[in-house]
Chain A
Amino acid sequence: MSLLLPETGLLFWMLLTFGIVVFVLAKFGFPIIVKMVEERKQYIDESLLVAQQAHDELQNVKAESEEIVKNARIEQVRLINESSNARNAMIQDAKDKATLEARKIIEDARLQIQEEKMEAIRDIRRQVAELSVEIAEKVLREKLDNKNEQMDMINRLIDEINISKS
């Protein structure tokens, strides 16, 4: 059967054609396609990995920010409490001081009033004394115009002194 016998001429053309096709495609065709596809595959894999990492990081950042916000809230509450405490303390302090001051002022004023009162009393006393002395002088000057009267007076005074001495 000629069907089962390879023809020399055909084999020659076959090897030539196939050889050229293999040379061209195995050098300039398939390696480029395969290389590019594999690189692209790697690129996609890496990109997916990076995206996953970014996603994870984002989650972390979210969690972190939530943590920060929570801490800030706590801090805020703490600060508010602290400041209100401080304010209260300050107010209390100021009140105390004011009370103290007021008391002191009142005390001073009272003392001053006391002193002035005493002064006034002293002044009045002195004036009263002066006045009485003057009055007494005037009374005495009128009364002691005559000698008897003067003597009576002197005796009375001496008596009085004696009485007060004894």
Chain B
Amino acid sequence: MKYLYKILILLAFALLSSNSIFAVESSQPNDKAKPLNVRDFILEHIADSYEWHITTFNDKQIAIPLPVIVHSSITGWHVFLSSELHQQHPYGLFIPSDGKFKGKIVEKDASGVEVRPLDLSVTKVALSLIISGILLIIIIMSVAKSYRNGVYESKKGFVGFMELLIMNIHDDVIKPAVGEKYRHFAPYLLTLFFFVFVNNLLGLIPLFPGGANVTGNIAITFGLAVITFLLVNVFGTKEYWREILWPDVPLWLKVPVPLMPLIELVGIFSKPFALMIRLFANMLAGHSIVLGLTSLIFVTVSMGVAMNTSMTIVSVLFSVFIGFVEILVAYIQAYIFVMLSAVFIGLAQVKSHHNQ
């Protein structure tokens, strides 16, 4: 406890000094500079981008350029690095700073209206996805490799930890939730769990391979939800479809107005929709909170040194706290996503209970 206090005080002083210097320096030339727009700041950071911005140093943007792949309906396929977008407008493509397609690559069609080409660019989120995918394959395959020797032994260290995680999900989530046919779905559901988990965790690391808001991007959760939706409905039993289209309710609820079947049909779509929104909103909120707390430091610069100092301390402490909470959330959200997917798949595996 003693050490903790010392560390916190030191940390506070370090932040205090660096921030006051920063404040002094920036207050002079920045008199005319516009104040930080927190909303834009947060939205910019949680949104996808065509380059991987690392930092701005001495007014110079340091960013990793990423490949842009677009198919324009006018000029066809184009592949180039995103750094080219800053200097000129290659092939008539550019990123508008305002309007409907703000921050996305657009081109002008014949009538001068901004339209979006087919955009398959490897964006920040896409690259982060690919990195985490490779990372996940390396991790799991290395774990699997240590099992290939066919010797029955208790695993130690990292492999043991991964075994704990894997078997926990497999035995306590997938097995009871899916039911009899869990073996068919277990590999997919396990991959799903680790995919979400690794992406959640990578999103918490503020440096290069991490930091992208992957699972807080609707396209990612949409994709995952669509796959779960397909698995639920493609492998659903006859009884599952019968319960949807002809449920065991009084006849007047089904004929002439198919009220219950309609509600059930909505249910088919609302389940994966809930999955999609839950993960998306949770991860988005986590990133937003951290960003909001960080921007607190810069917002309070204009309110004087005392206010700025105390708010800096508060911001750092809260960020650390939220960081811990986010680690928990990263696991819980992955867990819930897989658990609900497993439950939905399990619900679609119903057997007829009329013969009972």
By a beta-carbon cutoff of 8 Å, the part of chain A in contact with chain B is 2-15, 17-18, 20-22, 24-34, 36-37, 39-40, 43-44
Whether the pair A6, B144 counts as a contact (CB closer than 8 A) is no
Which of the listed residues A2, A20, A34, A37 has the most CB atoms from chain B within 10 Å of its own CB?
Answer: A34
Interface residues of B in 153-170 (CB under 8 A from A): 153, 162-163, 166-167, 170
Nearest chain A CB to B221's CB is how many angstroms away?
9
Q: How large is the interface on B (under 10, 10 to 19, 20 to 34, 35 or more residues)?
A: 35 or more
Interface readout for B57-80 with A: 1 if CB under 8 Å, 0 if not? Answer: 000000000000100000000000
| Cβ contact of B190, chosen from A4, A25, A44, cutoff 8 A | A25
Interface readout for B81-118 with A: 1 if CB under 8 Å, 0 if not? Answer: 00000000000000000000111100000000000001
Further contacts, 12 of them, CB under 8 A, given A2-B103, A8-B119, A31-B187: A3-B43, A7-B123, A12-B120, A13-B126, A15-B223, A24-B141, A28-B141, A30-B166, A30-B186, A32-B147, A34-B187, A37-B163
What separation, in Å, do the CA atoms of A27 and B191 have in the docked complex? Answer: 10
B133 at the interface (CB under 8 A from A): yes
Whether the pair A43, B152 counts as a contact (CB closer than 8 A) is yes
Whether the pair B122, A32 counts as a contact (CB closer than 8 A) is no
What separation, in Å, do the CA atoms of A21 and B193 have in the docked complex? Answer: 12
Some 19 contacts from A to B, beta carbons below 8 A apart, are A2-B104, A6-B218, A7-B48, A7-B119, A9-B69, A9-B120, A10-B126, A17-B130, A18-B223, A18-B227, A22-B195, A25-B137, A26-B191, A28-B141, A29-B144, A29-B187, A30-B140, A31-B186, A36-B150
Cβ contacts under 8 Å, A27 to chain B: 187
What separation, in Å, do the CA atoms of A17 and B214 have in the docked complex? Answer: 13
| Cβ contact of A10, chosen from B148, B150, B217, cutoff 8 A | B217
What separation, in Å, do the CA atoms of A36 and B104 have in the docked complex? Answer: 48
In this complex, what residue of A is CB-closest to B101?
A: A2
What separation, in Å, do the CA atoms of A6 and B126 have in the docked complex? Answer: 13
What separation, in Å, do the CA atoms of A39 and B151 have in the docked complex? Answer: 10
| Cβ contact of B118, chosen from A3, A8, A22, cutoff 8 A | A8
Whether the pair B123, A6 counts as a contact (CB closer than 8 A) is no
Whether the pair A21, B126 counts as a contact (CB closer than 8 A) is no
Cβ contacts under 8 Å, B126 to chain A: 9-10, 13-14, 17
Nearest chain B CB to A89's CB is how many angstroms away?
68
What separation, in Å, do the CA atoms of A18 and B199 have in the docked complex? Answer: 11
B188 at the interface (CB under 8 A from A): yes
| Cβ contact of B218, chosen from A4, A13, A24, cutoff 8 A | A4
B327 at the interface (CB under 8 A from A): no
What separation, in Å, do the CA atoms of A149 and B275 have in the docked complex? Answer: 182
Please judge, given known A-B contacts A10-B126, A21-B137, A37-B163, whether A5 and B186 are in contact too, CB under 8 Å: no
B136 at the interface (CB under 8 A from A): yes
| Cβ contact of A2, chosen from B102, B120, B152, B162, cutoff 8 A | B102
| Cβ contact of B195, chosen from A18, A36, A44, cutoff 8 A | A18
Whether the pair B222, A11 counts as a contact (CB closer than 8 A) is yes
